[in-house]
Amino acid sequence: MDTIEKIKQQIEENPILLYMKGSPKLPNCGFSAQATQALMSCGEQFAYVDILQNPDIRAELPKYADWPTFPQLWVDGELVGGCDIIMEMAQQGELQTLIKESAAKRADESPAE
C-alpha cells in the first residue's frame, strides 16, 4: 500500500482524525497541543497519527490535502483545517457541534444489540 492509499484509509476509517506532531498526551509542538486541547474539550474520542513517527505521511499529506501545515483535523472524510481554524471554531462553539454531530452519526450507524 502506498502512502496516499494509507492516508485515504486512515481518513475513511477514523471519523475524527488529527494528524499531529507527537501524541495527545505528549504533543511535540504548541499548535498540536492547542488542537488536542480543543478536541479533548469536546468530550468525544478521536484518532490521531503522529507524523513525526510517520515521515512518509508527513511528506505526502500536505500534497494530498492541499494544506501545508500540521496539525490537520479531518472530520467525516473532510479536512477541517489546522490549529488556527480549530481554535477559532472552538471559540465560536462550531467545533463542539461538528464533533458531536460526527460522534452521533457513529452512534446511529452502530448495530443494535
Q: How many structural domains comprise the chain?
A: 1
Which is higher by pLDDT, 71 or 111?
71
- Count other Cβ atoms within 10 Å, centred on residue 70: 22
27 domain-assigned: yes
CATH code at 96? 3.40.30.10
Residue 112, domain member (yes or no): no
Q: How does pLDDT run across 26-69, given as a tens digit for each residue?
A: 999 999 999 999 999 999 999 999 999 999 999 999 999 999 99
Q: Do the domain assignments include residue 113?
A: no
Is 25 annotated to bind a ligand? Reply is no
Residue 21 annotated as lining a ligand binding site: yes
* Distances in whole angstroms, Cα of residue 93 to Cα of each of 35, 52, 113: 14, 30, 33
Asked whether residue 76 is assigned to any structural domain, the reply reads: yes
Q: What is the pLDDT of residue 81?
A: 97
> Is 106 annotated as ligand-binding?
no
Q: How many C-beta atoms surround the C-beta of residue 42 within 10 A?
A: 18
Q: Is 2 annotated as a binding residue?
A: no
CA-closest candidate to residue 11, choices 51, 61, 54, 58: 61
Cell of 48: 490521531
> Taking the model in full, what pTM does it have?
0.93
The pLDDT, as a whole number, for residue 32 is 98
Flag whether pLDDT at 110 surpasses 60.
Answer: no
Q: Does 42 carry a binding-site annotation?
A: no
